[in-house]
Amino acid sequence: MIERKQIVKGLFYPISKELMQKKLTDFDKLASEIKSDNDCVIAPHAGYVFSGLTALKAIKSLKQKKLVVIIGVNHTGQGKSIGIWPNGFFESTFGAIEIAENETKKLIETKLFEPDYYSQVQEHSIEVMLPILQFYNKDFKIISICLSYNDIETSKKIAQTLFEFSKENDFALIASSDFTHYEPENIAKEKDLSLIKEILKLNLENFEKKRIELNASVCGFTPIQVLIEYCKLKKMKANLIEYTSSARASHDPSSVVGYAALGFKEKTKK
């Protein structure tokens, strides 16, 4: 059984279980208004000092389910373009998290997802979600997907495959992404809110058109594309939980990274 080791412990988030518990408890007090009623979320993946509170608000808003699908972005360029961790465990702060091997195998059998360790072994965008998930949910397994930059049609195929998979498997879905990188806060916010407007409308084509027009440096735009299309197929409605930037921690608005927590849930049947 392959265990994927933590690589950003002590860098992106606290090094010990005790410090992590304190950090997340402090964040949770600042997120007391959040209800756990979303089926899918977009959450940021920077260091906790910058985006941890926003990530926690997103993940706290999820319904607690025994299966969580996490879609990260391939920052390293290693491995497959649609890689999925096939088996074993992910090392994490509050204990190892098991890969949902049988469910992962079903996705591999579609021939769209390729079993792959290399795209994730040095990738942080999935790892930083795990301690927060564990803080709220003590009993779950994960499907860990890592995507390189793909076009809209590929993203639609991934979303359609997950939609078909959802007919027999109940899961929460996380798309891991930060928004605009290293621009003045006023410019980053303007760009990001323009993109978020299209996400809230579940308009994939307009989101991608706007991202290109604005030259917006959204690192996880492929996970977001997949989530938009998946939520559209599931007839979900979207809500913005929080938008902020690294300036909240750095107090430097001259060059920021934007962070957003967005939630998605199935519409109430009348």
Q: Give me the tens of pLDDT residue by residue for the chain, a chain 270 residues long.
A: 678 999 999 999 999 999 999 999 999 999 999 999 999 999 999 999 999 999 999 999 999 999 999 999 999 989 999 999 999 999 999 999 999 999 999 999 999 999 999 999 999 999 999 999 999 999 999 999 999 987 899 999 999 999 999 999 999 999 999 999 999 999 999 999 999 999 999 999 999 999 999 999 999 999 999 999 999 999 999 999 999 999 999 999 999 999 999 999 987 654
CA dist 158 and 135 (Å) reads 29
CA dist 51 and 171 (Å) reads 24
What pLDDT is attached to residue 267?
79
User: How far apart, in Å, are the Cα atoms of 182 and each of 25, 52, 137, 178?
Assistant: 29, 18, 34, 11
CA dist 110 and 132 (Å) reads 30
- Which residues touch 215 (CB under 8 Å, ≥6 apart)? none
Neighbours of 214 (CB within 10 A): 16
CA dist 211 and 100 (Å) reads 34
Q: Which domains does the chain have, with CATH numbers?
A: 37-266 (3.40.830.10)
What pLDDT is attached to residue 47?
97
CA dist 85 and 158 (Å) reads 16
pLDDT in tens, 23-40: 999 999 999 999 999 999
Neighbours of 150 (CB within 10 A): 18
**Which helix (H) or strand (E) is 181 found in, with range?**
strand 181-183
pTM of the model: 0.96
CA dist 114 and 161 (Å) reads 13
What pLDDT is attached to residue 1?
63
